[in-house]
A and B are shown apart, each in its own frame.
Chain A
Amino acid sequence: MPVWLREHSWRQSLTAVYLSLPLRGARATAANIFCSEQYLKVSIPPFLFEAVLYAPIDDTNSTAKIGNGNIFFTLYKKEPAMWDSLTLANADKEKLQHLRENAVLEAQEKAKEETKAKKVTKQENKKYALEATMKLEEAERKRIEDLKEKERQKVTKELELWKNQQKDGDKYKSIQAKEELHQEKEPLKERQNEKLNKTRIPNEGSSKTRLKSTRGRGSCSIFSQDLREEQLPAPRAAATIKVNFTPRVFPTALRESRVAEEEEWLHKQAEARRIINSDLSELEDLKEEEKNPDWLKDKGNKMFAMGDYLGAVNAYNLAVRLNNKLPLLYLNRAACHLKLRNLHKAIEDSSKALELLTPPVPDNENARVKAHVRRGTAFCQLELYTEGLQDYEAALKIDPKNKIIEKDAEKIRQLIQGTMQSS
């Protein structure tokens, strides 16, 4: 139940009502005051003050001053008239309710309209700002254009001036030229019939008779021109200079960005030629199947199984000549070399096989393990135990479950420690 604030005091003039409301210690803010045309409410829980006003007021212009434990309302009447009392006396509950609701609705509508109005003004402001900036930019652009235009015009004018000078100079020349044409035509035809001559161009002879060559250049130039013409040296003695070019295979021009591509292309061409050449020279007498690297590999495997290591190596050699990109060939050849105790060759072949077995994927795990083991064995047999151990450990890394490799690795470690202790 709210506590009603009833101790208010008011006075009025013709146009305004002054209402003073003591707050009994409660603090008020603007949010606690609700005012519409005919209804005034102050609600500071638990305190409540409401008044249904005698006559409508202009609520937009009315003010409320909060201070000193008091709210002082200045309400401007819509119609200047003296009120009998502040509130409507005989207002029953229903009417009050009705009025209250109306008031609330009115307030809401007003709020809505206010926001709409605000929005509209904002839009307009934005538009205005945009237009203003556009205008400024236009002005700037125009200024630059104007400057450029001025330049252009100035330059064009100068050009015209200069051109007119030239024209006048040319007028004289054209007159001269017409006279000379007649002189020239005959010597021209004469010269065409001659095969070899070193005579000067006929014009040079007639130049001396000319009075004005160019306008405004003074007579000194004419004389100097004539003198120069007389002093022209004879044509050079013919000679040849031999030239060597920086070698280039391609007939196209050299471009830096293409050099890498070209190198690669040449490399591939060279490789292909090598293979073709080797094929052509020795393998003409081989059967068809013997030119197939896979068939050769199988043959090699069979010979290895039978113990014919040299034969196997031969088969692998031939297969490698035909296709040097198959890692298994090198792998198997390494095994042969191990059996043949060609340890260095075994190392070489295992290394080559490993090279070709990049990238290290699960698919070629098996092959890589074998390559490492074979290389390790070769190293150990050469007594390069540390390198051998390295290879065994690499093999273990790929295949940690292989007991044989583990045992062998252990053995090598012992050997190394043994030699270290003894030395």
Chain B
Amino acid sequence: MSAVLGLERPQVVSHVQQALSYTVFDCKWVPRSARLMCLGSAARGTGIIQLYELHGARLEVLREIEKPKPIKCGTFGATSLQQRYLATGDFDGNLNIWNLEAPEIPVYSVKGHKEIINSIDGVGGLGIGEGAPEIVTGSRDGTVKVWDPRQKDTPVANMEPVQGESKRDCWTVAFGNAYNQEERVVCAGYDNGDIKLFDLKTMSLRWETNIKNGVCSVEFDRKDINMNKLVATSLEGKFHVFDMRTQHPTKGFASVSEKAQKSTIWQVRHLPQNRDIFMTSGGSGSLHLWKYEYPAQRSKKDSEGSEMGVAGSLSLLQNVTLSTQPISSLDWSPDKKGLCVCGAFDQTVRVLIVTKLNKI
């Protein structure tokens, strides 16, 4: 491939690299700003929240907050644009919502789970979508709970194992299908390869499947539309893209899968400005940028006349290796197209710019 052609593809440019003195588990952009949050665990076993601001070619620490328990994950998804409260889940199973201007006392706090909260997602805030703001947490104790910040102590939905069933770790959760005030869907991925789709309007299990490898990350391409696509990444370097528009009564959703690399795919994040482009981060410290192409017909009739979906195809736009350690967290900036931050287990957080996304 000639160099000229290579340069017409999107390039991942490393803009800033910041070494941290703690293990970073999650990093998120603060909406409507050039600031980002890093959440993690310090060596002495306490939790750290750091607020950075992007100044030219470096990151400046604005604030550092220390909490008694290490923090695993956080989201801004359920707060309004004015408040921009951060919801975090920590290693002890506590869900807290913090006002970053006054972080001593949480705005909302509950010991939601008996074990570490592995993953958190929020919906209904930030001017995206409609309906009540809600936060979902998935934990190692096998339960997935949905919280409303206006209701203390008890979750509004609780997906727990049947009595007597042995529990599996829930590794990832995601909201979707929140296109009006009533509809909401939660997708949860577990370590035994299960993916379950819970419908919150009917409070029932809508679909489940098993992808034969522990599920590391699930994300809908957009939370606030009729559910369109779901990407689920797993161990062993595989990920699946499900077409969520057509559900077949027995076969479920159509999917296409890709084996990108030999190591675990830790995260998938869709570009907020283009829902067909997403980035996956891998255990070998690499990032892959993918584009999904829809098939000519998105659904077709099967032999019995019921509708079934047709999966499209994937093309790899770019891949780059940034680190030798897994890149465990990834977040696109909702305000600037192509700006993203990633945090890796080599205790560095990197701000990257992906170019030429307009031309795709």
Contacts and interface: CB of A to CB of B under 8 A. Distances in A.
Interface string A184-220: 1100100010011111110100010010011000000
Contact of A207 (B33, B82, B204): B82
Nearest to B212: A256
Interface in A231-260: 232-246, 248, 252-257, 259
Interface stretch (A52-60, A77-85, A158-166, A356-364): A158-166
A236 B3 contact: no
Interface residues of A, number: 63
A76 B10 CA distance: 73
Interface stretch (A26-34, A147-155, A366-374): A147-155
B15 A159 contact: yes
Nearest to B134: A236
Given A156-B15, A225-B127, A246-B194, A240 B102 contact: no
A240 B57 contact: no
Contacts of A408: none
Contacts of B13: 148, 151-152, 155
A166 B131 contact: no
Q: For chain B, which range describes its interface: under 10, 10 to 19, 20 to 34, or 35 or more residues?
A: 35 or more
B34 A162 contact: yes
A242 B212 contact: no
A109 interface: no
User: Taking each of B82, B152, B212, B338, which has the highest tally of chain A beta carbons within 10 Å of its own beta carbon?
Assistant: B82
B244 to A, nearest CB: 19
B149 A196 contact: no
B17 interface: no
Contact of A151 (B131, B153, B339, B355): B355
A406 interface: no
Interface string B210-234: 1011100000000000000000000
Interface string B145-156: 010111111111
B115 interface: no
A369 to B, nearest CB: 48
B235 A236 contact: no
A239 B203 contact: yes
Interface in B47-83: 54, 56-57, 80-83
B160 A242 contact: yes
Interface in B110-168: 127, 130-134, 142, 144, 146, 148-162, 165-168
Given A163-B34, A241-B159, A242-B162, A140 B3 contact: yes
A201 B150 contact: yes
Contacts of A225: 80-82, 127
A244 B156 CA distance: 20
Contact of A199 (B34, B134, B150): B150
A40 to B, nearest CB: 63
A181 interface: yes
B7 A240 contact: no
B162 A233 contact: no
Nearest to B152: A196
B11 interface: yes
Given A225-B127, A233-B181, A245 B156 contact: no
A207 to B, nearest CB: 7
Contacts, number: 175
B32 interface: yes
Contact of A245 (B3, B99, B161): B161
B82 A201 contact: no
B325 interface: no
Contacts of B156: 235-239
B316 interface: no
Contacts of A244: 161-162, 165
B236 A256 contact: yes
Interface string B186-210: 0000111110101010011100001
B287 interface: no
Contact of B152 (A170, A181, A197, A259): A197
B320 interface: no
A151 B102 CA distance: 40
Given A229-B80, A239-B157, A241-B203, A160 B56 contact: yes
Contacts of A143: 3
Contacts of B165: 243-245
A257 B132 contact: no
A144 interface: yes
Contacts of B190: 245
30 contacts: A143-B3, A144-B3, A152-B13, A152-B15, A159-B353, A162-B336, A169-B32, A196-B152, A201-B150, A203-B80, A225-B80, A225-B82, A229-B80, A233-B131, A235-B132, A235-B150, A236-B134, A239-B156, A240-B157, A241-B158, A243-B144, A243-B162, A245-B142, A245-B165, A253-B213, A254-B192, A254-B212, A255-B214, A256-B236, A257-B236
| 3 cross-chain pairs, A with B, having the tightest CB-CB distances, nearest first | A253-B214, A235-B148, A253-B191
Given A200-B150, A235-B148, A241-B160, 7 more contacts: A159-B353, A169-B32, A195-B152, A203-B83, A214-B81, A238-B155, A243-B160
Interface of A: 140, 143-144, 147-148, 151-152, 155-156, 159-160, 162-163, 166-167, 169-170, 173, 177, 181, 184-185, 188, 192, 195-201, 203, 207, 210, 213-214, 221, 225, 228-229, 232-246, 248, 252-257, 259
